[in-house]
Structure 1
Amino acid sequence: MALRRAGQGTRARTGPPRRPGTLAALLVAALCLGPLVPLLLRSGEGGLGAADAAALRFTLLQAALSAGLSVALAIPVARALARRRFPGRGALITLLGAPFLLPVLVAVMGLLALFGRNGLLNAALAALGLPPVSIYGLHGVVLAHLFLNLPLATRLLLQGWLDVPAERFRLAAALNAPVWALIERPMLARTVPGAFATIFALCLTSFSVALILGGGPAATTLELAIYQAIRFEADFPTAARLALLQYALCGAAALLALRLAPGAMGQGGPGRAVQRWDAKGRAADALWIALAALFLLLPLGLAGWRGLAGLPDLPPEAGPAALRSLGVALAASALTLLLALALALHGGRLAQLAGALPLAASSLVLGTGLLLILRPLTTPATLALPVTALLDALAALPFALRSLAPAIAEIESRHGRLADSLNLTGPSRLRRLTLPLARPALGFAGGLAAALSVGNLGVIALFAGEDQTTLPLLMARLMGAYRMDAAAGVGLLIAAMALLLFWILDRMGRADAAP
């Protein structure tokens, strides 16, 4: 009996290898916290100047406005999607995930085609004899964030509606009770704060949007101020102080978002429509759905149309830049998968904290710290591509881990005891059990990391010289030189590469995957 208990205790302690997860957690912590050291050493004792304080205020203002508008407008859209069935509903809900994969610069290009100086809106205003409108400044930054984050807010709130048991709506209808006051408003009180905090945290790291649509003393974010201090003024103490401030803001916002995130009740996925007995408001629901679809589809369509027209104007540098972007994306995807798999296998509190840590540090802030470390040792441009791949991998890690960790936990829950009884441990367990069953999650996570990396403009803008230009950096330079046709062509190339990489890697994970 004692031997049997001892054997059971030993089997209970078997399971997936945890040491790689511990090493991965320490590596992530070192990469996210290590760059703080040179930032602290170079920050000096100076305080924030007037321009720095203005950048802080603008950063907080645009993030609050962007998150508030995204959530407020997502409420009627998510409510309409939750309670209506119509042809194309599933495709529209799938489309809501597209802006997350879409490179930010491509989204900005679509908005410029619609609201820019030579866009459709100003062309219509000119035909009516009205003065043009400008997309640049605070309202342009907020508009771009609204385009990028309204779909995310809609998905978050839609899941809140779908988590409500259908019996509650049936009971409310039977009693002729107000559904909004008794069911929907309390649900929103639980889900809205988490959605707002999540989008607020994302909008704090808006380098690409602010670079193209912001600028100027009145519309400069902290990240843009860091970039300007390094690239144009070589003022590293100021850049270090701003980077520390940005790190603190992102860390606080990430912790708040994690704390406010509601736990799902698991009643159904986003493709399900809630069965409702209150049929009022059909016209209003149809209007909200149509407006949301138009707001998403029109800029995407214009970006694609301008991209096709701009393909003949692609500069010669586009080919080498595409190869660099592809190499960086594949390297970032591979590194993301290694770290996420190790952390998911660990499954402990340490792994969870390490997986959330990159949310507190934007790539530009970490790049600033690494730049200060590398400058005395080598020319930063020589390491531009490896550093970019490394930081892109860190940026995608929280999303990859969110996809992979539940899959690993499910595998262990279903097959862990049998594997323990067969003494299937270590690399053999990983090769024969975990990897075959986790292939769909691995393919999705790898595709997501590659797609995000292809369109990311951040640290490469600090490090790259002329021979390290990637597609996002090339597009930004073309837009800065007002070569909009060529920039649109590069943007279409970026979008095609991002979607193709995601499709290929996700498909590789699902093809012949073990059931």
Structure 2
Amino acid sequence: MNTRTDRQIRIGAGIAAALLALGFLLGGILVLLVVSDQAPDVVAPLADPYVRSILGFTLMQAGLSTLLSVVLAIPLALALHRARFAGKRAILRLFLLPQALPVLAGALAVITIWGRNGVVSDGLAAVGLPQLDVYGLTGILVAHVFFNMPLAARLFVAALDRVPAEGWKLAGQLALPPFTVFRTIEWPALRSALPGASALIFMLCVTSFTIVLVLGGGPAATTLEVAVYQALRYDFDPGRAIGLSIIQIVLTALVLVATLILGRDPAGGFGTGGRARRFDARSRVRDVGDGLVVVLGTLFVVSPFAAILVSGLAADLTRLVREATVQEAAITSLLVAAAAASLSLLVSMLVLMAIEALRFGKRPGAARRGTRIGLETATSLVLVVSPVIVGAGWFLALRQVTDVLAAAPYVVVATNAVMAMPFIVRIIGPALSQANAETGKLAEGLGLTGAARFALVDWPAMRRPLALAFAFSLALSFGDLGAIALFGSSDFVTLPYLLLQRMGSYRTADAAGLALILGLVTVALMGLVERGFAGREETGR
């Protein structure tokens, strides 16, 4: 097999994988259109004052969440990048956990820390101040900042890592003061990552489901995603659900297109933080300020994990672990997560290798560039589609050919697999791209193809980030409540769904214990990251 044939096979396989993912997303919507037996009406929902209020609240909470996450992440990223202490990389790795922590467990932790009976409220009451109420916009904002501020900080640290070493050396040689370093080096790097980070967080907040479902507190704090779920779960009105979903897709797609026009990837790569040696002048005042920012930021991220640990230990863990329902739910969660992560990893790797074949192939014309951009865009478009809509569509389709309960696990696995793709692509993609930029032409010249090219070029580059990607997607699927919330039943129960049931029946002690179990398993899964980064240090993205 020659290199041209090998490239064509890679491109063909990647296009097929991307079409499979997009077909799954669009197929679910088409099935709902057929079931509703009418064209989706977007104008009618917008004429409804309640829907307009939902739309306004969705935009407001997403905008405020994005603003708070980015504004708080910038000084934290600067402080972490300037910091010179042994635990810096450990903190950067810790910042991976909020995205992988089961959202339901995170929401419970927010209640424990910031609720009326939480630690912060007790402290406020002790000094004579009113207690906090986390149900509504306040709780949603706190939860979104907890999950997304560390993500934004990591993206900004990665942008600072990409500053050429010569820039830091020149700043040191010229003895530039801190403000000048910020204005000429740090801010341009942050500004380049700002559109992409903001767009990614905005899309995640617009499509937020579990946080709003748990912390919304009523109709006044409902988003489009929750309204779609209610239209399908309680009213079974596919036409209304699709109309609301189209509104949500248009909103998030406009943000995606805007970032693509700006030339920024809305889900740029992130890793565990590379080595960036700085030579700019030290400032004692700035070092003290940076240390304070790092401590406060780390405490904000760590406190929910501590809350989960403390409240969970107060539950009857022995009884919970021995409970047959909990054991079955845990096994089901692990099987679903393993299947979803494996499928997502396979599809994402095929798409990535196709992108690299198109980028570094001989004479990449306009058609190849267009195909490459299409593949890159396809991996981000899944962020704008509601998993509830997709799952409902395919669930109804499979109901025509098989038993409903038998179809549910397959729908949940496929939905979780597709939804994890953007994160996997952004974890593995930068390393694979760098490897092909450095050795791709040499591999072409040597005629490396097939398994030999994969073993000598692709695998060494992907091995470490692949461990992170698999563990990350495994944890995301393990703690997901999006698809299972619609299709969970007495015969198909995962740990997040069981946790939601115990919360609904006001069994708070059991809910706290299950949240701890979810968190511990997630941390154990994320322990696979250590394997991915064992050995030599990884360079910055």
| Contact 1:240 1:368 (C-alpha < 8 Å) held by counterparts | no
> What is the deviation of 1:127?
4.4
Tell me the equivalent position of 2:20: 27
Tell me the equivalent position of 1:253: 255
1:234-383 aligned at under 5 Å gives the runs 234-260=236-262, 262=264, 269-272=273-276, 274-277=278-281, 279=283, 280-310=285-315, 311-312=317-318, 314=320, 316-347=324-355, 348=358, 349=372, 350-377=374-401, 380-383=404-407
Change (3 A) 1:152 1:301: same
Tell me the equivalent position of 1:4: none
- The structure 2 residue matched to 1:225, chosen from 209, 224, 227, is 227
1:16-415 aligned at under 5 Å gives the runs 17-41=10-34, 42=36, 44-45=40-41, 47-48=44-45, 49-128=48-127, 130-164=129-163, 165-170=167-172, 173-174=175-176, 178-260=180-262, 262=264, 269-272=273-276, 274-277=278-281, 279=283, 280-310=285-315, 311-312=317-318, 314=320, 316-347=324-355, 348=358, 349=372, 350-377=374-401, 380-409=404-433
> What is the deviation of 1:319?
0.7
| Contact 1:223 1:365 (C-alpha < 8 Å) held by counterparts | no
* TM-score (norm. length: structure 1): 0.87
| Contact 1:17 1:426 (C-alpha < 8 Å) held by counterparts | no
Name the CA distance, whole Å, in 1 between partners of 2:174 and 2:345: 46
Q: Which range moved further: 32-41 or 192-201?
A: 32-41
Cα offsets for 1:254-281 (capped at 9, x unmatched):
3344555658999x94453533215143
* SS of residue in 2 equivalent to 1:146: helix
Name the CA distance, whole Å, in 2 between partners of 1:298 and 1:398: 28
Output the amino acid matched with 1:272: A
| Contact 1:231 1:462 (C-alpha < 8 Å) held by counterparts | yes
Name the CA distance, whole Å, in 1 between partners of 2:195 and 2:458: 36
| Structure 2: 5+ residue stretches without partners | 359-371, 537-541
Name the CA distance, whole Å, in 2 between partners of 1:500 and 1:176: 40
Name the CA distance, whole Å, in 2 between partners of 1:57 and 1:201: 15
Q: Which range moved further: 323-332 or 365-374?
A: 365-374
Change (3 A) 1:413 1:474: same
Name the CA distance, whole Å, in 2 between partners of 1:366 and 1:394: 10
| Contact 2:169 2:278 (C-alpha < 8 Å) held by counterparts | no
Change (3 A) 1:103 1:445: same
Name the CA distance, whole Å, in 2 between partners of 1:346 and 1:17: 5
Name the CA distance, whole Å, in 1 between partners of 2:273 and 2:263: 17
Output the amino acid matched with 1:340: S
Tell me the equivalent position of 1:495: 519
- The structure 1 residue matched to 2:497, chosen from 454, 473, 478, is 473
Change (3 A) 1:332 1:183: same
Name the CA distance, whole Å, in 1 between partners of 2:431 and 2:183: 37
Change (3 A) 1:255 1:133: same
Change (3 A) 1:508 1:404: closer
Name the CA distance, whole Å, in 1 between partners of 2:59 and 2:197: 17
Cα offsets for 1:363-386 (capped at 9, x unmatched):
223223324434555554332211
* SS of residue in 2 equivalent to 1:233: coil
| Contact 2:54 2:223 (C-alpha < 8 Å) held by counterparts | yes
Change (3 A) 1:129 1:450: same
Change (3 A) 1:511 1:500: farther
Identical residues among aligned pairs (%): 36
Change (3 A) 1:365 1:81: same
Output the amino acid matched with 2:513: G
* SS of residue in 2 equivalent to 1:466: coil
Output the amino acid matched with 1:274: R
Tell me the equivalent position of 2:483: 459
| Contact 1:17 1:346 (C-alpha < 8 Å) held by counterparts | yes
Name the CA distance, whole Å, in 1 between partners of 2:210 and 2:83: 36
Q: Which range moved further: 309-318 or 417-426?
A: 417-426
| Contact 2:97 2:523 (C-alpha < 8 Å) held by counterparts | no
Change (3 A) 1:25 1:166: same
Cα offsets for 1:463-491 (capped at 9, x unmatched):
12111111111112212222222112111
| Structure 1: 5+ residue stretches without partners | 1-6
| Contact 2:395 2:411 (C-alpha < 8 Å) held by counterparts | no
Change (3 A) 1:159 1:419: closer
Output the amino acid matched with 2:344: T
* TM-score (norm. length: structure 2): 0.83
> What is the deviation of 1:237?
2.0
Q: Which range moved further: 69-78 or 175-184?
A: 175-184
Change (3 A) 1:493 1:289: same
Name the CA distance, whole Å, in 1 between partners of 2:302 and 2:213: 24
Change (3 A) 1:156 1:458: same
Change (3 A) 1:380 1:101: same
Change (3 A) 1:14 1:237: closer
> What is the deviation of 1:396?
1.0
* SS of residue in 1 equivalent to 2:279: coil
> What is the deviation of 1:295?
1.0
> What is the deviation of 1:210?
0.4
